[in-house]
């Protein structure tokens, strides 16, 4: 089936891939490490580079100041349909440098057993992904002289350093950021060839508990046996947080946890997830979550409780017979559906208090408390995008979950009332945040083509 609007754009993308790759290499040469103050000027340079590049395509583009690194905004196109695209131009630090096979900021194309890859810091996260959308716009403009919809580009320079300026900026510029949908290119394919749209993001509730027993560290010879040991108390509490089937025992924890819709369940079934391989890569073999749930549910759609850290007493080399005054743990809950972080926090704290022996006290420290995000996929846009992606890749696109949190998606929802469509072309072996980061040339090429198809589909 030929398409006179889309086909020439795809052809143009294929023909100009070498030039597009060169542009990405140029951007990758700028060491825009946002977390390191020494690289402040480089972050600025990356932002300026993007502004110039966008102007060349015809965007009304400019940097926007923040207390930290600048935002880049670009506007082009017209029409009723308004699409916002988000990406980030900053990158992770590169240490330990000794583990890189080459200079992280002197990128090159490597031939590998699995195909050609672009190697360098930011190749995948997120400069390469960001540029897939920019290149799709460029090709469309070159072929048709204008974009098929009103498009606003929104690039951040602080994503790898906690995004301190993001929320204030979004609030201040809510009007110009408001669009029909937010497109985000910072996620991956499912496996190597199944395009994925992330429609569920787990929320995160972080709690730190510190149990105090004796008022000071004691000698376990003198007090052992008679004084309550706070490590023993903390261990009992942690041990009680899951039942033997892996279910979280905090009262009311599962309130608001939805069952997976039948059509999504069927899609996931079709994905044929290799749980053995996923776990095998990290030395495990047995799904440890709720035993009556599938592995994909465990990581995408079911809530969890994890202990992220524990400490108490003497933890150095050798042995010290201390009976410690305090023991503490950092505990996080991944939330789904309508689970209410505030209610779960209260219920968790009540459970902890109920398990305290008379001689112990507990202090709680708040960490994050964000609810899950669930995109509204029943409207026409999500299905249109899914169809477009399915046309490009060997396998049909799937709505997937994401165990982690991608705060920007939540902000689009909570601050601007927009759904976010998370579409990305990264692969599990891209080594983002690690030495020798890469982005498959195929991801880059088919990523650009995918966005051309999505632009087409969302603007009809």
Q: Please say whether the beta carbons of 312 and 231 come within 8 A.
A: yes
389-408: which residues touch a copy of itself (CB under 8 A)? 402-405
From 62-70, 115-123, 130-138, 284-292, span contacting a copy of itself (CB under 8 A): 284-292
Which residue has 């589909």 as its token pair? 457
Q: Please say whether the beta carbons of 54 and 73 come within 8 A.
A: no
Does residue 218 belong to the site contacting a copy of itself (CB under 8 A)? yes
Q: Please write down the long-range contacts of 234-238, taking CB distance under 8 Å and 24 or more positions apart.
A: 234/209, 234/310, 234/312, 234/327, 234/328, 234/329, 236/355, 237/209, 237/211, 237/351, 237/352, 237/355, 238/307, 238/310, 238/329, 238/331
Does residue 96 belong to the site contacting a copy of itself (CB under 8 A)? no
CA 83-85-86 angle, 5° bins: 150
Nearest CB to a copy of itself, comparing residues 380 and 404: 404
**Binding test (CB under 8 A) with a copy of itself, winner from 175, 259, 282, 378:** 282
What is the torsion angle, in degrees rounded to the nearest 10, for the CA atoms of residue 394, residue 395, residue 399 and residue 405? -60
Total residues found in the chain within this entry: 460
Nearest CB to a copy of itself, comparing residues 254 and 278: 278
Does residue 278 belong to the site contacting a copy of itself (CB under 8 A)? yes
CA distances from 59 to 12, 28, 76, 170 (A): 19, 21, 5, 20
From 61-69, 124-132, 174-182, 224-232, span contacting a copy of itself (CB under 8 A): 224-232
294-313: which residues touch a copy of itself (CB under 8 A)? 295, 298-299, 302-304, 306-313
**Binding test (CB under 8 A) with a copy of itself, winner from 266, 367, 383, 394:** 367
Instruction: Lay out the site mask for a copy of itself across 372-391 (x = CB under 8 A, - = otherwise).
Output: --------------------
From 81-89, 169-177, 202-210, 442-450, span contacting a copy of itself (CB under 8 A): 202-210
- Which spans in 178-254 are helix H? 220-223, 230-239
**Binding test (CB under 8 A) with a copy of itself, winner from 143, 271, 275, 369:** 275
Does residue 319 belong to the site contacting a copy of itself (CB under 8 A)? yes
Residues 6 or more apart whose Cβ sits within 8 Å of residue 374: 199, 200, 201, 336, 337
**Binding test (CB under 8 A) with a copy of itself, winner from 2, 225, 292, 378:** 225
**Binding test (CB under 8 A) with a copy of itself, winner from 28, 91, 151, 204:** 204
Nearest CB to a copy of itself, comparing residues 9 and 218: 218
Q: Please say whether the beta carbons of 425 and 447 come within 8 A.
A: yes
Nearest CB to a copy of itself, comparing residues 106 and 359: 359
């Amino acid at each position: 089936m030929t398409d006179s609007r889309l086909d020439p754009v795809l052809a143009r993308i294929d023909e100009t891939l070498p030039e597009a790759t060169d542009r990405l290499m140029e951007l990758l040469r700028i060491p825009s490490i946002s977390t390191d103050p020494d690289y402040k000027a480089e972050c600025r340079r990356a932002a300026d580079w993007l502004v110039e590049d966008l102007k060349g395509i015809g965007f009304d583009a400019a940097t926007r100041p923040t207390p930290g690194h600048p935002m880049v905004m670009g506007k082009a196109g017209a029409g009723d349909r308004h699409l916002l695209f988000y990406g980030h131009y900053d990158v992770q630090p590169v240490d330990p440098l000794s583990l890189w096979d080459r200079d992280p900021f002197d990128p090159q194309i490597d031939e590998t057993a699995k195909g050609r890859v672009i190697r360098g810091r930011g190749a995948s996260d997120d400069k390469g992904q960001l540029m897939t959308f920019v290149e799709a716009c460029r090709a469309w403009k070159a072929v048709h002289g204008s974009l098929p919809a009103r498009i606003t580009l929104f690039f951040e320079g602080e994503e790898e350093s906690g995004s301190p300026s993001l929320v204030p900026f979004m609030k201040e510029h809510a009007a110009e950021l408001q669009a029909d949908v937010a497109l985000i290119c910072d996620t991956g394919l499912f496996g190597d060839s199944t395009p994925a749209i992330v429609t569920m993001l787990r929320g995160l509730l972080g709690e730190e508990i510190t149990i105090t027993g004796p008022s000071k560290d004691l000698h376990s010879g003198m007090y052992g046996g008679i004084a309550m040991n706070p490590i023993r108390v903390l261990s009992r509490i942690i041990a009680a947080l899951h039942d033997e089937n892996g279910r979280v025992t905090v009262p009311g924890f599962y309130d608001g946890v939805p069952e997976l819709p039948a059509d999504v369940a069927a899609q996931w079934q079709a994905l044929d997830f290799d749980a053995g391989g996923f776990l095998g890569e990290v030395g495990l073999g047995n799904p440890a979550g709720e035993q009556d749930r599938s592995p994909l549910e465990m990581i995408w759609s079911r809530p969890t409780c994890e202990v992220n850290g524990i400490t108490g007493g003497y933890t150095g080399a050798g042995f010290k017979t201390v009976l410690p005054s305090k023991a503490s743990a950092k505990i996080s809950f991944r939330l789904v559906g309508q689970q209410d972080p505030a209610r779960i926090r209260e219920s968790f704290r009540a459970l902890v208090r109920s398990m305290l022996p008379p001689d112990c006290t507990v202090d709680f420290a708040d960490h994050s408390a964000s609810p899950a995000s669930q995109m509204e996929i029943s409207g026409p846009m999500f299905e249109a995008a899914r169809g477009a992606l399915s046309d490009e890749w060997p396998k049909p696109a799937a709505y997937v979950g994401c165990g982690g949190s991608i705060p920007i998606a939540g902000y689009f929802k909570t601050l601007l009332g927009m759904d976010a469509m998370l579409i990305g072309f990264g692969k599990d072996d891209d080594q983002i945040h690690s030495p020798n980061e890469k982005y498959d040339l195929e991801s880059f090429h088919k990523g650009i083509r995918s966005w051309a198809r999505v632009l087409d589909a969302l603007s009809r």
